[in-house]
Chain A
Amino acid sequence: MTRSRTVLLAVLAVLGLLAAACSSSGTSSSSATTTPTGGGAEWSGNTINVPADYPTIQEAVNAAQPGDLILVGSGIYKEAVDVETPGLTIRGLDRNATILDGEFTRDNGIRVLGASNVTVQNMTARNYTGNGFYWTGVTGYHGSYLTAYRNGDYGIYAFDSVRGQFDHSYASGSPDAGFYIGECFPCDAAILDVISEYNGLGYSGTNSGGNLVIANSEFAHNRAGLVPNSGSYELCYPERDTTIVGNLVHDNGDDPNTPAIDVAKLAMGTGILPAGGRNNLIQNNRVYNHERVGIGLVPFPEENPKDDLPTGDELTMPCSQARTLPRADKASLPGTLLWDAMGNTVKGNVVSGSGLADLAFGSLGTTNDPLGNCFEGNTFTTSAPANIETVMACQNPSGAFTGTLDLATLIATERPPSGDYKTQPVPPDQPNMPDAANAPGMPAVNVPEKVDVNSIQVPAAK
Chain B
Amino acid sequence: MTEVVPAPRRHRGALLVGLSLAVVGVLVAGAVLLLGPGGDEDQAAATGATGFQDGPQGLVPQFIVSCAYSHSATNDPIVWPGQPGRSHRHDFFGNRTTSDSSTPDSLLGQPTSCERQLDTAAYWAPSLFDHGEPVAPLGLDAYYRPGPGIDPASVVPYPHGLMMISGDHTATEPQSTQFVGWACGIQGEMQVTPPTCPADAPLRLKVVFPDCWDGVNLDSETHKSHVAASVGGSCPDTHPVAIPQLTIAIGYPISGEGHELTLASGTVLTGHADFVNSWDEKELTRQVERCLNRGLVCGVVNNKAEDVVRPMPVRP
Which residues of A line the B interface, CB within 8 A?
A: 5, 8-9, 12-13, 17, 19-35, 82, 84, 104-107, 111, 113-114, 129-130, 136-137, 152-154, 159-160, 175-177, 180, 183, 204, 206, 232-237, 261-263, 299, 301, 303-304, 306-309, 311-312, 314, 323, 325-330, 332, 334-336, 338, 340, 342, 363-366, 370-371, 418
Check A342–B187 contact: CB distance below 8 A: no
Interface flags for B154-188 (1: CB within 8 Å of A; 0: not) read 00000000000000000000000000000001111
B56 touches A104 (CB 8 A): no
Tell yes or no: B59 within 8 A of A by CB. Answer: yes
* Chain B residue at smallest Cβ distance from A339: B17
- Using A26-B1, A159-B300, A261-B304 as known contacts, list a sample of 6 further A-B pairs with CB atoms less than 8 Å apart, ordered by residue number in A: A21-B306, A24-B57, A27-B54, A32-B295, A34-B297, A327-B55
Main secondary structure of the interface of B (DSSP, over half): loop
Point out the residue from A26, A105, A111, A301 that lies within 8 Å of B298, measured CB to CB: A111
Q: Tell which of A9, A22, A104, A370 touches B302, judged by Cβ atoms closer than 8 Å.
A: A22
Q: List 12 A-B contacts (CB under 8 A).
A: A23-B185, A25-B247, A30-B233, A34-B295, A114-B296, A176-B303, A206-B303, A232-B56, A233-B56, A327-B55, A342-B16, A418-B305
**Bound complex: CA A309 to CA B15 (Å):** 10
B201, B206, B294, B304: the one contacting A113 at CB < 8 Å is B294
Stretch at the interface among B75-83, B95-103, B139-147, B273-281: B139-147
B198 within 8 A of A: yes
Least CB distance from B211 to A in Å reads 11
Q: Which of A82, A176, A311, A325 contacts B14 (CB 8 A)?
A: A311
Whether B150 and A30, one on each chain, are in contact in the complex, defined by CB atoms closer than 8 angstroms, is yes
B47 interface contact, C-beta 8 A: no
On whether the beta carbons of A334 and B117 are closer than 8 Å, the reply is: no
The A/B interface has a contact count, at CB < 8 Å, of 267
User: B135 an interface residue at 8 Å Cβ cutoff?
Assistant: no
Instruction: Tell me which of B12, B200, B201 contacts A311 (CB under 8 A).
Output: B12
Q: Which residues of A contact B53 (CB under 8 A)?
A: 26-30
Shortest beta-carbon distance from A316 to chain B in Å: 14
- Expressed in whole angstroms, the minimum distance between the Cβ of A250 and any Cβ of chain B is 24
Q: Cα distance A334–B24 when bound, in Å? A: 9
Residue on B nearest A131 in the bound complex, by CB: B299
Q: Which residues of B contact A307 (CB under 8 A)?
A: 56
Q: How far is the CA of A403 from the CA of B187 in the complex (A)?
A: 36
Q: Could you say which residues of chain A place their CB within 8 Å of the CB of B46?
A: none
**Contacting B313 at CB < 8 Å: which of A104, A176, A418?**
A104
Q: Is B61 an interface residue (CB 8 A)?
A: yes
B249 at the interface (CB under 8 A from A): yes
| C-alpha gap A21/B303 in the complex (Å) | 6
Q: A9-B31, A130-B299, A330-B1 are in contact. Are A304 and B189 (CB under 8 A)?
A: yes
Known contacts A23-B302, A27-B62, A235-B57; A314/B9 CB under 8 A: no
Report A-chain residues with C-beta under 8 Å of the C-beta of B307: 418
Query: Which A residues lie within 8 Å of B59 (CB)?
Result: 27-32, 235, 323
The A-contacting residues of B in range 199-237, CB under 8 angstroms, are 200-201, 206, 233
Whether A304 lies near B16 (C-beta < 8 A) is: no
Inter-chain contacts of B3 with A (CB < 8 A): 29, 326-327, 329
A364 contacts B23, CB within 8 Å?
A: yes
Q: Give the distance to chain A from B8, nearest Cβ to Cβ, in Å.
A: 7
A183/B58 in contact, CB under 8 A = yes
Cβ of B291 under 8 Å from chain A: yes
A234 lies within 8 A of B57 (CB):
yes
- Judging by beta carbons under 8 Å apart, are A24 and B301 in contact? yes
Q: Which residue of A lies closest to B115 (CB)?
A: A129
Q: Mark contacts of B220-261 with chain A using CB atoms, 8 A cut-off: 1 yes-contact digit, 0 otherwise.
A: 000000000000010000000000000101000000000000
Q: Which residue on A lies nearest to B1, using beta carbons? A: A330
Which residue on chain A has the smallest CB distance to residue B17?
Answer: A340
Check B19 against A113 for contact (C-beta < 8 Å).
Answer: no
Q: Hey, which chain B residues are within 8 Å of A29, CB to CB?
A: 3-5, 53-55, 59-60
B116 at the interface (CB under 8 A from A): yes
The answer to whether B24 touches A12 (Cβ under 8 A) is yes
Q: Which residues of chain A are within 8 angstroms of B294 by Cβ–Cβ distance? A: 34-35, 113-114
Residues of B within 8 A of A180 (CB): 303
Residues of B close to A330: CB separation below 8 A: 1, 54
User: A residues within 8 A CB of B282?
Assistant: none
A28–B55 contact, CB under 8 A?
yes
User: B12 touching A308 by the CB < 8 A rule?
Assistant: yes
Most interface-central of A20, A33, A152, A237 (chain B CB within 10 A): A20
**Alpha-carbon separation in the docked complex, A19 to B189 (Å):** 13
Q: In the complex the two chains form, what is the Cα distance from A83 to B315 in whole Å?
A: 26
Q: Is the CB of A263 within 8 A of B303?
A: yes
What mask results when residues 259 to 298 of chain B are scored 1 for a CB within 8 Å of chain A, else 0? 0000000000000000000000000001000110011111
A20's closest neighbor in chain B, by CB? Answer: B201
Docked CA distance A378–B20 (Å) = 28
Interchain CA distance A177-B12 in the complex, whole Å: 33
Residue numbers in A under 8 Å from B52 (CB-CB): 26
Given contacts A20-B201, A261-B305, contact A366 B115 (CB under 8 A): no
Known: A176-B303, A263-B303, A309-B14. A26 touches B290 (CB 8 A): no
Q: What 7 pairs across the A-B complex have the smallest Cβ distances?
A: A28-B53, A365-B23, A23-B187, A24-B302, A24-B57, A326-B7, A26-B54
Chain A, residue nearest B23 (CB): A365
Judge whether B198 and A24 touch: CB under 8 Å: no
Is the Cβ of B10 less than 8 Å from the Cβ of A326? yes
Residues of A within 8 A of B25 (CB): 334
